[in-house]
Amino acid sequence: MVMATKEFSADKAKDFSDWYNKVIYAADLVDNRYNVQGFVVHKPWSMLAFRQIYRLFEAELEADGHLPALFPTVIPEENFEREKEHVEGFEPQVFWVTRAGAEDLKRHLALRPTSETAFYQMYSLWVNGKADLPLKMYQSCSVFRNEPETNPFMRGREFLWIEAHDCFAAQEEAMQQVKRDMAVCERVLSHELGLSFLFFERPAWDTFPGAETTFACDARLPDGKAFQIATTHFLGQKFAKAFGIRYSDDSGAEKFVFQTCFGIGVWRMMAAVVAVHGDNKGLMMPFSIAPVQAMAIPIAGKGVDSTRLLAKCREIKAVLEKAGIRASVDDSDKTPGYKYNYWEMKGVPIRIEVGEKELTAGTVTLARRDSRERVTVGADKVVAAVNELGFALLESMCERAANDLKSHILNVSTKKELAEALDAKNYARAFLCSTDKEGKECADFIQAETKGGKVRGTLFGGDEAVPRGAKCIHCGRPASAIVYIARQY
């Protein structure tokens, strides 16, 4: 096994930005030396984890009736122009292909910033009768946006994601799909990645371009900023009318479909995993997505036959792999202490130690990445022990993340309290006059007065009733909504 020497020294609590920008390179997740600004090379350790994240979401989508597809990377300009709000929302971020060889193209082609206008041009050809509905497809791909500022896994000019696009005969079916999308996020983000988040209905002035309503999944990073990692949108019939996606009902009448789209920010989820779970020793990978779930390390002392130790480690690796556990052996010539630190920095959930004592007793010693708790078990029990510790570690990660988020939501009733809450790296929970367009003026004032405190929206499904007599935190008029406010990435 080839091991690169990585220097890593940073304090996450004191300077999260410094810590983050050191750990992603120390752990060899990316290389930013590719000679096009804003585009990074994804190294094997991150791509192996990304493959697991994709696997989890794709399985959920297919269980929900979605089928995989792959649409072209380029989208003709006329597709964008069909939906006015959509083109206005995305045009500043679009990369355009205008030349092929020595010739200027007559039709400009966009590198997809998102694929509504690609999918829906084809959906208009595929939907004819009610029997064609619901139509539910997804693609796993990269998208391109000309972001002015970039940071690996947070904002980039090319990033990884999944997008699902659905058509229904009835509005109620579309809204049920939005709820199922949220349930997918809950199952994967919470139960597999150990992340805690808030699901918001965005205010009317902050919807996805072309959507009727946007619902967004926000995590909180250690610097207190909100970090959007997934969105699902009720599109209504806007795109259906723009692209002519309609069907003939049982009576022969033509009707436009109702649509939803679901954007799963796979790239940003990696940032959240790194940021939320990592510590001053490096990454802490959830057991479900770790490229290596268990690393066996031979501990050879003086006079010990290292060949026998290494053979035992390889035997354990084979047993674990047969049971479906991603395992490896560190057979490098580094010291055990170096190996411990290195694989902790890479975030491997379980370390397996095999020394002369274990070899003689027929045991192995397991160490958890988070608590560093060590337990010795019989070598014949290693599969069960690795699984048990791996899932216990994931459970602890879930609990820590949930407690951390809960402890950083503060109720505020004055502008002074709001500013103090945001400065202390919290979400602020406050009353607002409206989340319809008439409330935008208050939201804009709040954002300006708090140096970036943005109204994220109302908690979806939380049944947060506004008490009688509640007043808007900015204008003092009667409040109609309880909103959450945070600075954001």
The pLDDT, as a whole number, for residue 446 is: 98
pLDDT band at 287 (very low <50, low <70, confident <90, very high): very high
Whether residue 302 is predicted with pLDDT greater than 80 in this model: the reply is no
Which pLDDT does position 3 carry in this prediction? 53
The reported pLDDT for the residue numbered 7 is 67
Task: Give the tens place of pLDDT for each residue, 445-470.
Answer: 999 999 999 999 999 976 789 999 99
In this predicted structure, the answer to whether residue 266 has a pLDDT above a threshold of 80 is: yes
In this prediction the pTM is 0.95
pLDDT of residue 85: 85
Determine the pLDDT at residue 252.
Answer: 87
| The pLDDT of residue 147 | 94
pLDDT at 4: 52
**8 falls in which pLDDT band (50, 70, 90)?**
confident
Per residue in 322-362, pLDDT (tens digit) is: 999 999 999 999 999 999 999 999 999 999 999 999 999 99
Task: Please report the domains of the chain, with CATH numbers, ordered by start residue.
Answer: 16-277 (3.30.930.10), 294-396 (3.40.50.800), 409-486 (3.30.110.30)
What is the average per-residue pLDDT within 109-132? 96
**Average model confidence (pLDDT) for the chain?**
95
Q: What is the 3-state secondary structure (H, E, C) of the chain?
A: CCCCCCCCCCCCCCCHHHHHHHHHHHCCCEECCCCCCCCCEECHHHHHHHHHHHHHHHHHHHHCCCEECCCCCEEEHHHHCCCHHHHHHHHHHCEEEEEECCEEEEEEEEECCCCHHHHHHHHHHHCCEHHHCCEEEEEEEEEECCCCCCECCCECCEEEEEEEEEEECCHHHHHHHHHHHHHHHHHHHHCCCCCCCEEEECCHHHCCCCCCEEEEEEEECCCCCEEEEEEEEEEECHHHHHHCCEEECCCCCEEECEEEEEEECHHHHHHHHHHHHCECCECCCCCCCCCCCEEEEEECCCCCCHHHHHHHHHHHHHHHHHCCCCEEECCCCCCHHHHHHHHHHHCCCEEEEEEHHHHHHCEEEEEECCCCCEEEEEHHHHHHHHHHHHHHHHHHHHHHHHHHHHHCEEECCCHHHHHHHHHCCCEEEEEECCCCHHHHHHHHHHHHHCCCCEEEEEECCCCCCCCCCCECCCCCCECCEEEEEECEC
pLDDT of residue 392: 97
pLDDT in tens, 60-92: 999 999 999 999 999 999 998 888 788 788 888
The stretch 106-119 carries a mean pLDDT of 95
Distance of CA 101 to the CA centre of its chain: 38
pLDDT at 387: 98
**Is residue 430's pLDDT more than 60?**
yes
pLDDT band at 250 (very low <50, low <70, confident <90, very high): confident
